[in-house]
Structure 1
Amino acid sequence: MTEHAERIALSTGITLNVVTAGDPAAPAILFLHGFPESHRTWRHQMAEFARDHFVVAPDQRGYADSDKPQDVEAYTPDKPVADALALMDHFGKDRFILAGHDWGGAVAWMAALLNPDRVERLIICNAPHPYIFQKTLIDDPVQRNASQYFRAFRDPAIERHIESIGMDQFFDTSFAPYVDPAKVAEEKPVYLAQWTKPGAMTPMFNWYRASSIVVPALDETPERPAFLDAPFPRMQMPTLVIWGMRDTALTPVQLEGLDCFVPALTVCKVDAGHFVTWEAPEIVNGAIREWLD
């Protein structure tokens, strides 16, 4: 696979670093990464699907080699959704397959819900459906406990804390516990190089701060968000959900009841952790290939 990387100025006012491969005339797959990564989340999938698709993987706003506005408002969910659509407009792709992991999956869920005319098929890897995620944060004590890092990342003191302990220790305490120990050594220098760029950490945390998701404290009885008691729209396109079942941040409870919101649902459960795309690339690629075929 021959990759091409370029910085692309979008109509949203943001310039993204974007990696592409494959024939630009072929059907397109847009790959969106999450925290705390970059386009490299999808490196194994890009190598596989560039054989018969045009594959597009940006560093999302606030990450790696893309623009990093420092204000929280720049990361409200509508902004990265608009980036994704504008990026595919740039390549002249009216319809495309959309794949997302972690925060990239949150963007993908929203983009597909709001733009079914653009998203032909949806691929989600360890990223919770918005209704189920909010419901489990209220009702499921295990998921609520697992998501307390969300509150820590929203805390304005987190950047000063990282400064005091050093980036190495932040990696070892906040990131390494969620990945396959055998593979984390390979990734560490890549992450540290990205995270130590000037102004790199605040934008990544601003994705958490800008989200409207309610993450209650463990001892809190929160007000129930109104949308949980109202009808929620169904997905209109075929959707593949691949889930690393050893994910300790987003537990498998996220799969329960998902078929109620996604009529054309296929679920693939994988013996892997949260970073399933690079922890179990052969299985992920095989599941996507079988589903597409």
Structure 2
Amino acid sequence: MTLTRYPLSTGVDLDVQTAGDRAAPPVILLHGFPESHRTWRHIVPDLARDHFVVAPDQRGYARSSKPAAVEDYAPDRIVGDLLALADELGIGRFTLVGHDWGGAVAWMAALTRPDRVERLVIVNAPHPYVFQRSLFEDAEQRTASQYITRFRDTNLDRSILAKGLEHFLSTSFAGHVATAIAGEDKAAYLDEWSQPGALTAMLNWYRASSIVVPAPGEDAPRPAFLDRPFPPVTQRTLVVWGTQDKALLPVQVDGLDELVPDLTVAKVDAGHFVPWQNPDAVIRAMRDWGI
């Protein structure tokens, strides 16, 4: 996994894995929390057979730049990185694939820049409207999402460091994919999380988000945009969904076609970390869909 560091017009430097022929159709892969380009390590070799594949370590992760302010991790800043990276690589329109927070960025990029995002693949990442609505209308999803409130607590960073990164890995990540995260991959993640400011930078993605997460039973003010028309995703879209996800429940897929007219949903046997838990199913779903 050779990485190249790219200074971007957004003021950050990103480490980026690329693979395949630069003349082939481009695919950009966006990882989520608490990962890096390694999310896609079982996916990249297959896609690189006939695509130019780009997998960045997004801002705040691994050894990519880690701006200090919470607002530096607002979704529009990260979409800006995506487009600046595409520009740096001479990519115009591209297929965009995102998992977890990378999927949240992918949804936003598709909605705001259809001139650049040609096709969209989402892997266990909720549509922003569906997710916010579910936090007000679905008690089970609200309960399952309380971890977001915990991650927004600025005392958490010190607590994680006090308990040790091995504990963080076993409770937040590897506990879900214990058979996949070992050896070189485990060592790499522990090293990346130990970089100065890394934990705070990763958690700042949650702190910069405008998503409202009411406490269970709380009668919180309902965001006004939930009661207004929401723009559709115009791109052809594939949603690959691990059905055993305990954080993002099936309500995230129910009725999604109302907001994504050209939608294909592929449900696979996996939890939240689908690219680790069942990469063959992810590859098969994408290939069957036409990538």
- TM-score bracket for this pair, using the shorter chain length: over 0.9
* Unpaired segments ≥5 residues, structure 2: none
Deviation at 1:201, TM superposition (A): 0.3
Q: Residue 172 of structure 1: CA displacement?
A: 2.2
TM-score, with length taken from structure 1: 0.96
Q: Who is 1:121 aligned against? A: 119
* Aligned match of 1:222: 220
Letter in 1 for 2:232: R
Counterpart check, 1:249 vs 2:262: no
**1 CA distance for matches of 2:15 and 2:250?**
32
| Aligned with 2:46 (options 48, 54, 69) | 48
AA of the residue aligned to 1:40: R
One-letter amino acid matched to 1:264: D
Deviates more, 1:180-189 or 1:160-169: 180-189
RMSD: 1.2
Instruction: Select between 40-49 and 28-37 the one with higher mean Cα deviation.
Output: 40-49
CA–CA distance in 1 between the matches of 2:144 and 2:213?
10
The one-character-per-residue Cα deviations of 1:18-77 (angstroms, maximum 9, x if unpaired) are 110111111100000000000011112111011111000000000002001121010011
Paired position in structure 1 for 2:177: 180
8 Å CA contact 1:146–1:250 kept in 2: the answer is yes
The AA in structure 1 aligned to 2:46 is E
Q: Which runs of 5+ in 1 are unaligned?
A: none
Contact 1:4 1:21 (C-alpha < 8 Å) held by counterparts: no
User: Which has the higher mean CA deviation after the structures are superposed, 97-106 or 42-51?
Assistant: 42-51
* TM-score, structure 2 as length reference: 0.97
1:261 to 250, 259, 262: 259
With 6-15 and 165-174 compared, the bigger mean Cα shift is at 165-174
1:155 equivalent among 153, 156, 159: 153
Q: 2:85 aligns to what SS in structure 1?
A: helix
Sequence identity percentage: 60
Classify the secondary structure of the residue corresponding to 1:124: strand
1:199 corresponds, among 197, 200, 214, to 197
Tell me how far apart the structure 2 counterparts of residues 195 and 113 of structure 1 sit (CA, whole Å): 31
**Helix, strand or coil at the partner of 1:181:** coil
Alignment coverage as a number of residue pairs: 290
Cα drift, residue 163 of structure 1: 2.5
Q: Between 134-143 and 204-213, report the one with greater CA deviation.
A: 134-143
The aligned residue for residue 212 of structure 1 is 210
Aligned counterpart, 1:165: 163
Following superposition, the deviation at residue 219 of structure 1 comes to 2.9
| Residue 141 of structure 1, CA deviation | 1.1
Task: State the 1:4 CA deviation.
Answer: 4.2
Matched residue, 1:73: 71
Q: Secondary structure at the match of 1:23?
A: coil
Rounded Cα–Cα distance in structure 1 between residues aligned with 2:6 and 2:222: 41
Q: Is the 8 A contact 1:9 1:16 kept in 2?
A: yes
- Contact 2:177/2:276, CA 8 A, preserved across alignment: no
Aligned equivalents of 2:289 and 2:166: distance in 1?
39
Contact kept, 8 Å, 1:239 with 1:264, in 2: the verdict is yes
